């Protein structure tokens, strides 16, 4: 029995009668589950802090993987990406025109001016937390810095707009895409955020494009990621056929991504991973 869902099911039914999409019981986390996800999030954030203190030019992306893997294990947690549907490493590291799912490699060496997304998902006591950050290596060109900053702004603007029982998933997509387009960028449409907490990927799917007043209603207890992937050039992407994982921009231009796991609260949202 989901006590958290039972407390709001009658209110959800009223919205459903108005043909508004509402979350299912599985999407509403209990207080105990949220606390478990929050604890996993503390470790996840510590991992990204550690990466930030060590990442530098001349380092291979595989060295980042080793740092993440060892830190995770030392803190009694499990790196969720390792062996997930065959993914061979403990973290995703995506450089420059890599949109996401970059596989760490001893041959990929970071250099001055690179922009790097490090995407960490941590399991602790059976609970999952997921976040990613952008890191600028040395001195990057102004266009790269702007892309990184605007992508972060897209995420922050979406978070600020969340109001339980009012905001819908389409609102999040509209806010993100509007800010990206205003700055001359495009939004990756094929990949989005997702529910998380009891598994690495759960419902709902969180698109980063959308229309205000559409999509699922956001209510307290929902836990999901928002992780806009913003391209400097066109929105078209392709998957590397050699490794079956890494997604790149079709035109070879830069891409950036920031990600938080959040829980919808009674008055907005709480970021569970930074």
Could you tell me the CA-to-CA distances from 255 to 27, 97, 205 in Å, in that order? 30, 5, 21
The pTM of this model reads 0.97
Domains contained in the chain, number: 1
CATH number at residue 92: 3.90.230.10
Token pair recorded at residue 221: 């207890």
At 73-91, the pLDDT tens digits run 999 999 999 999 999 999 9
The pLDDT, as a whole number, for residue 1 is 66
At 19-33, the pLDDT tens digits run 999 999 999 999 999
In the numeric block, the tokens 């603007």 are attached to: 157
The pLDDT, as a whole number, for residue 265 is 98
Which stretches in the chain have pLDDT values below 50? none
Phi-psi region of 197 (alpha: psi -120 to 50; beta: other; left: phi over 0): left
Listing DSSP states for the chain in one string gives --HHHHHHHHHHHHHHHTT-----GGGB--HHHHHHHHHHHHHHHHHHHHHHHH--TT-BHHHHHHHHHHHHHHTT-EETTTTGGG--SSSEEEETTEEE-PPP-TT-B--TT-EEEEEEEEEETTEEEEEEEEEE-SS--HHHHHHHHHHHHHHHHHHHH--TTT-BHHHHHHHHHHHHHHTT-EE--S--EEE-SSSSSEEEEE-SS--TT-SPBP-TTBEEEE--EEESS-S-EEE-TTTS--EEETT---EEE-BEEEEE-SSSEEES--
Q: Which domain holds residue 128?
A: 3-271
């Amino acid at each position: 029995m989901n006590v958290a869902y039972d407390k709001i099911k009658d209110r959800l039914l009223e919205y459903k009668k108005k043909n508004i999409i509402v979350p299912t019981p599985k999407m509403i986390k209990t207080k105990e589950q949220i606390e478990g996800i929050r604890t996993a999030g503390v470790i996840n954030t510590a991992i990204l802090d550690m990466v930030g203190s060590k990442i530098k030019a001349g380092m291979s992306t595989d060295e980042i993987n080793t740092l993440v893997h060892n830190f995770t294990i030392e803190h009694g947690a499990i790196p969720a990406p390792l062996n997930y549907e065959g993914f061979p490493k403990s973290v995703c590291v995506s450089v420059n025109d890599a949109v996401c799912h970059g596989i760490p490699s001893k041959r990929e060496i970071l250099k001055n001016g690179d922009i790097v997304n490090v995407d960490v998902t941590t399991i602790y006591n059976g609970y999952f937390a997921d976040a990613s950050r952008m890191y600028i290596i040395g001195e990057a060109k102004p266009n790269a810095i702007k892309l990184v900053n605007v992508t972060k702004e897209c995420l922050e603007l979406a978070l600020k707009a969340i109001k339980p029982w009012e905001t819908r998933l389409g609102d999040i997509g509209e806010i993100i895409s509007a800010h990206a387009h205003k700055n001359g960028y495009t939004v990756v449409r094929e990949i989005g955020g997702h529910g998380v907490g009891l598994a690495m990927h759960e419902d709902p799917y969180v698109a980063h494009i959308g229309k205000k007043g559409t999509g699922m209603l956001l209510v307290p207890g929902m836990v999901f990621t928002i992780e806009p992937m913003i391209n400097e050039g066109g929105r078209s992407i392709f998957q590397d056929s050699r490794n079956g994982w890494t997604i790149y921009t079709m035109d070879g231009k830069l891409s950036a991504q920031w990600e938080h796991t959040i829980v919808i609260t009674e008055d907005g949202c709480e970021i569970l991973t930074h």
